Amino acid sequence: MKEGWTYKKLAEVCDFISGYTPNNKELNSIGGIPYFKVSDMNRKENMMFMTKTELYVSNPKKIIPSGAIVFPKNGGAIYTGKKRVLKYDSIVDLNTEAICNKSSLIRTDFLFKFIFYLDLGKFDKGGALPSLNINKMKDFLMSVPPLSEQQRIVSYLDSAFAKIDAVAKNAEKSLNQAKALFQSALAKMMEPKEGWEEKNLVEELKLKSGEYLPSKEHAGGSIPVYGGNGIAGFHNEGNLDGEYIIIGRVGALCGNVHLTNGEVWVTDNAFVATGLDEAWDKKFLLYELTSIDLNKYATKAVQPVISNKSLREVSLYKPSLDVQNDITKTLENVENNISSLSSNLSRTLTECAALKQSILRQTFE
C-alpha cells in the first residue's frame, strides 16, 4: 500500500441503493422523477451521465440522488463495463444498483473514477444468469489516499482521458466524413443522365416474397437468414443460392437492400428480385435502390410494409452496362475506404479503452 493510503470497505464509504420497477399505473411520459432502465445505459448521447429519459414517476417509493453511480446488477451487462452517473434525482429499475458517497474521507469525483475502473464481473455469483453478489461488493476494499492526493489523481486522470477521448473523437470524425462523402457521391452518381433508360421498378425487378421461417426455428448454422430488417439470424439450410438482390418487406427498416452471394434463407418478410436481365450490374442496382430509400414508400401502419402496390410508381434509371460498371467501381472504392476507416475506428476505440484501464490500474492498484 502506498504511503498515507488506507483501505476501506465500499460499504464503509458508500451507500448502496437497489432500484425498483414502478407499475404501469405509476409511469407516465409527462413529468415527475425521471425513471431509468438498464437499457438506457446504451444511449450514446452521453457516455458518462444518465440525462435523457422517456418515462417519469409522480410519487416514487424510492429516489436515488443525483450524482449517484448506477450500474447493472443482472445479466450479461455486468461484463460490459456500462456505468453512468445520475444527472438528476432519479429512479432506476430493479436490475440496477446505485452507489452514493457518504464519507468525508472521499471526494465524489475520486469515487467516480474508482467505480468506473472496478470490474463488476469479479462479483458475479457464478450462476447460469450473471448476477452481482452485492454483499461481496460491499466488502470489497477500496484504496483511499489523502484528499489532496485524490484531487491530484482526479486532475491527472481527467487530463489523460481528455487526450485519449480526443484521439477517439478524431477517428470517429474521419469515419463520419467518409460516410457523408459516400452519401454525396451516391446521390450525385445516381442522378438520371442523358441516355439512361427509365424503367418501372416492379416490372423490372419482379419482386417475390421468401418463405416463412420463424425465429424460434432458426437452427443457428452458418447460413444467413434475411428478414424484413436485414439479417435476422442463421440457419442450417437455405432456400436460395447465388447472387440476388434482397429487399426488406416488413418492419421498421423495410426497404433495406442487400446483395447476397451464396446460400441464404429469405423469409416471407423480405423480397427477392427475380427476372433481372443481363444488362443490369447487380452491384449498381444495389446502389441505385439504396439511393432511392424504399422505406419512404412503406405503408404507415403499426408494422410498416412495402409491397408491389406501394412501389408501382417508383422508377429505376438504367445506363449502359459500361457506365454501371464504372459507377460501381467508384462507389466501391469509397466504400472500401469507409470499411478501412471503420476498422481503424474500432481498433482505436478498443485501444483507447484499454489505455484508460491501464492508467486506472496503475493508479488504484
**What would the pLDDT profile of 183-205 be if each residue is shown by its tens digit?**
898 999 999 999 999 999 999 99
- Measured CA to CA in angstroms, residue 175 lies from 329, 334, 355 at distances of 20, 11, 21
Name 57's Cβ contacts closer than 8 Å, sequence gap at least 6.
22, 26, 27, 28, 32, 33, 35, 91
Q: How confident is the model at residue 182 (pLDDT cuts 50, 70, 90)?
A: confident
Cell of 298: 412503406
The closest of 267, 182, 195 to 227, measured between CA atoms, is 267
303 DSSP assignment = S
Neighbour-count burial of 78, counting CB atoms closer than 10 A to its CB (0-12 exposed, 13-18 middle, 19+ buried): buried
Task: Give 267-310 pLDDT, tens digit per residue.
Answer: 999 999 998 888 999 999 999 999 999 999 998 777 899 999 99
What gap in Å lies between CA 56 and CA 27, rounded to an integer? 6
Cell numbers at residue 233, please?
439470424
- Give the largest Cα separation in the chain, rounded: 81
Beta-strand ranges (E) seen in the chain are 6-9, 14-18, 27-28, 33-36, 49-50, 55-57, 69-72, 84-86, 91-92, 96-101, 141-144, 197-200, 207-209, 223-227, 230-235, 240-248, 257-266, 270-273, 315-318
Q: Label residues 111-148 b or e (16+ Cβ within 10 Å = b).
A: bbbbbbbbebeebbeeeeebbbebeebeeeebebbeee
161, pLDDT greater than 80: yes
Q: Is the pLDDT of residue 148 over 90?
A: yes
% of the chain at pLDDT higher than 90: 60
pLDDT in tens, 101-126: 999 999 999 998 898 888 888 899 98
Residue 98 has pLDDT above 90, yes or no: yes
Q: Binning pLDDT at 50, 70 and 90, where does residue 47 land?
A: low
Q: Region 241-249: what's the mean pLDDT? A: 95
Strand, coil or helix: what is 260?
strand
Model confidence pTM above 0.85: no
pLDDT recorded at residue 329: 95
Query: Residue 135's pLDDT is what?
Result: 95
Find the mean pLDDT for residues 25-36: 89
Q: Where are the alpha helices (DSSP H) in 34-143?
A: 108-117, 134-138
Other Cβ atoms less than 10 A from the Cβ of 105: the count is: 16
Assign 1 a pLDDT band (cuts: 50, 70, 90).
Answer: low
Q: Hey, what amino acid is at 5?
A: W
Residue 80 has pLDDT above 90, yes or no: no
Tell me the mean pLDDT in the region 81-94.
Answer: 89
Q: What pLDDT, on the 0 to 100 scale, is given for residue 288?
A: 96
Using the 8-state DSSP alphabet, how is residue 196 labeled? P
Q: 257 or 39, which is more confident?
A: 257
Percent of the chain surpassing pLDDT 70: 99
- Phi, psi (degrees; rounded to nearest 5) at 292: -70, -30
